Structure 1
Amino acid sequence: MEFLGGGDLEKFIRDSAPLDEVTLRCVTAEILCGLQHLHSLQIVHRDLKPENILLDNAGHVKIADFGLSAMFVTEKNRVKSCVGTLCYMAPEVYYQRPYYYPADYFSFGIIVYEMALGEHPFYTGQETEEQLVTSMYATEPYFLRHLNFYLQDLLLRLLRHDQEQRAHLVCNLRSHPFFKGIDWEEIEEGPSLVQSTLEPILKEPLQEIIEVDTFLSKDLEMPIDSLHQEYFKAFEYISERMKARQA
């Protein structure tokens, strides 16, 4: 498994939002690529939120935590379960109407808004569930007057309440003017190529943990027994001490 030393997007937003336009565009484009790949495999994430988007040491994003994901979901084969995190949940999910991939785009829109403005478009932390639902599903998000026009248009597409309208508005997002200058093929090739044209968002990346064993009791000879240790042979990341034992 790949070691991701940049933390999660929630912490990055808390520390750095509102993001400058260049950083916002790059991070948004990377999340979009990940989402579109999932949807091409007929997977709907259903719990997309900043805590479930991890960053590598340069700040490139990795969508994580698929515990609530639904598989084999298409426009004709929809699901109805109400799962996820309320303040990132699409209206069709909350009301348990048959839904498919556009539900993830509503969550995506809230994340982009948080990156752009440093706050949730509907939630302040003081609302009851009833007040939050009314705010999210019956009102439009507030935009500062100086906000980039193309960014506003992108957010209005993503945060459209009606699922079918949203599906139509997000069907060709890569050609949206907000993403002008983004090389989509380069992003899909991976971080090693992305870094040639996109500035890493983490200027001082976190140092990788060398000794995982230091988090465990020093009284233990082995973190887990040898039988269960076999399950982790294919993992790329193990401690230096464990490598020495295996040698």
Structure 2
Amino acid sequence: MEFLGGGDLEKFIRVSAPLDEETLRRLTAEILCGLQHLHSLQIVHRDLKPENILLDNAGHVKIADFGLSAMCVNECYRVTSWVGTPGYMAPEVYYQSPYYYPADYFSFGIIVYEMALGEHPYYTEQENEEQLVARMYTMPPYLPWYLDFYLHELLRRLLCLDQEQRAYEVCNLRSHPFFKGIDWEEIEEGPSHVQSTLEPILEQPLQEIIEVDTFLSKDLEMPIDSLDQEYFKDFTYISEGMKARQA
């Protein structure tokens, strides 16, 4: 697995939210591309939350942690398992109604809200899970009057409580005015594409990242041989200890 030096989106939100409009638009577009790719393969993530979205050194998105994902899920073949993280679950998942890919969009909407405003649309410290659920699944989210009109409209679509209506609302999301100026082909190619003009979102990796070198550079009883080392040829990170052994 590649080394992702930007940490996870939860830390980024905690440090940087509310995000500026351009950063919010770019991160939202990148997550959307990842989700749409999964759904095109009939995979529903089912545990989409900021901790499960990782950032590379430049701040570009990598969706991770597929331990709760369901495969071969579509409109005709739905699932009913209660899985995920309370606070990010779509109502149909929480109540174990038959669901498919629109469930991920509800979780996505909460993430976009947190990036835009720096807080959960429903959660308060005084509430327990039952109170949170009562608010999430019976009330519309609080959308401040000063919110950008197109962002407001995007969140309204994503956080729609009715699964079938949500599926309709997100069916052509890339053409939504909130994403004006986004080059979708370039987003899909990613920052490693030779002709990419994507600017880094992070000027430097987050300072909270653990000292990975301390973890990886413990002396090995037997140095890795040159043949095995070829497997790591294009890795974006190797420890100082490993570099010394290669030298």
Ranges in structure 2 where 5+ consecutive residues have no aligned partner: none
Contact conserved, 2:4 with 2:54, CA < 8 A, in 1?
yes
Distance 2:203 2:191 in 1: 15
- SS across alignment from 2:141: coil
Distance 1:196 1:188 in 2: 10
Contact conserved, 1:44 with 1:71, CA < 8 A, in 2?
yes
Q: List per-residue Cα deviations over 1:55-78 (Å, max 9, x = no partner).
A: 000000000000111111111111
Contact conserved, 1:50 with 1:111, CA < 8 A, in 2?
yes
Q: Trace 1:1-247 onto structure 2 (pairs within 5 A).
A: 1-193=1-193, 196-205=196-205, 214-215=214-215, 221-222=220-221, 234-235=231-232, 236=235, 237-242=237-242
Write the letter of the residue equivalent to 1:147.
L
* 1:199 to partner: Cα distance: 3.0
User: After alignment, is 124-133 or 136-145 more displaced?
Assistant: 124-133
Distance 2:243 2:21 in 1: 44
- SS across alignment from 1:188: helix
Distance 2:223 2:198 in 1: 44
CA gap of 1:139–1:233, structure 2 versus 1, over 3 A, is farther
Write the letter of the residue equivalent to 2:125.
G
Distance 1:243 1:196 in 2: 30
Aligned length: 239
* 1:238 to partner: Cα distance: 4.3
Distance 2:158 2:98 in 1: 18
Contact conserved, 2:122 with 2:132, CA < 8 A, in 1?
yes
* 1:91 to partner: Cα distance: 0.2
RMSD: 2.6
Contact conserved, 1:106 with 1:159, CA < 8 A, in 2?
yes
Distance 1:57 1:155 in 2: 28
- SS across alignment from 1:153: helix
Write the letter of the residue equivalent to 1:204.
Q
Distance 2:15 2:141 in 1: 23
- SS across alignment from 1:62: strand
- SS across alignment from 2:137: helix
CA gap of 1:113–1:194, structure 2 versus 1, over 3 A, is farther
Distance 1:43 1:85 in 2: 18
TM-score normalised by the chain length of structure 1: 0.88
Distance 1:109 1:195 in 2: 31
Amino-acid identity (%): 80
Moved over 6 A (4+): none
Distance 1:45 1:160 in 2: 19
User: After alignment, is 170-179 or 138-147 more displaced?
Assistant: 138-147
* 1:159 to partner: Cα distance: 0.3
* 1:241 to partner: Cα distance: 3.5
Contact conserved, 2:216 with 2:239, CA < 8 A, in 1?
no
* 1:215 to partner: Cα distance: 2.4
CA gap of 1:2–1:216, structure 2 versus 1, over 3 A, is closer
CA gap of 1:212–1:57, structure 2 versus 1, over 3 A, is closer
Contact conserved, 2:80 with 2:96, CA < 8 A, in 1?
yes
